[in-house]
Amino acid sequence: MRGLAWTLAVLILLLQYPLWVGKGSWLRVWELEREISAQKTANQALEARNIQLAAEARDLHAGYDALEERARFELGMVRTREVFFHVMESASPHTTEIVRP
């Protein structure tokens, strides 16, 4: 009877091994759930970025205001018959320098 009990205990332990350590184990499931959670967070950040880029693309296609703003700030462009003043701050608060392109 004692040998049968030991045999059954060993069989139970052998059946439990794949559950805890094997290929489809609980540890692997927990690791995959953690990876899925991290990927969902990354996807949400990318989705917010895509929404922002889509809104910017709509603005650029829809009107000239966004296009003009981009040309002014990113490319330094000015309109014809328009004068650009660049004010440089110096150490003294009373002195300003005006530069014409």
Flag whether 80 is in a domain. Answer: yes
Instruction: Give the span between the Cα atoms of 97 and 65, in whole angstroms.
Output: 29
Amino acid at 60: L
Instruction: Give the span between the Cα atoms of 59 and 53, in whole angstroms.
Output: 10
- pLDDT, residue 34, reads 96
Flag whether 4 is in a domain. Answer: no
Q: What is the extent of the structural domain holding 81?
A: 27-99
Domain count within the chain: 1
Flag whether 17 is in a domain. Answer: no
| Token pair for 65 | 């205001």
- pLDDT, residue 59, reads 79
32-57 pLDDT, tens digit per residue, is 999 999 999 999 999 999 999 999 88
pTM summary value? 0.48
Is the pLDDT score of 86 beyond 70? yes
The residue ranges of DSSP E strands in the chain, in sequence order, are 86-89, 96-99
Flag whether 12 is in a domain. Answer: no
Instruction: Give the span between the Cα atoms of 64 and 62, in whole angstroms.
Output: 7
The whole-number average pLDDT for the span 45-70 is 86
Flag whether 7 is in a domain. Answer: no
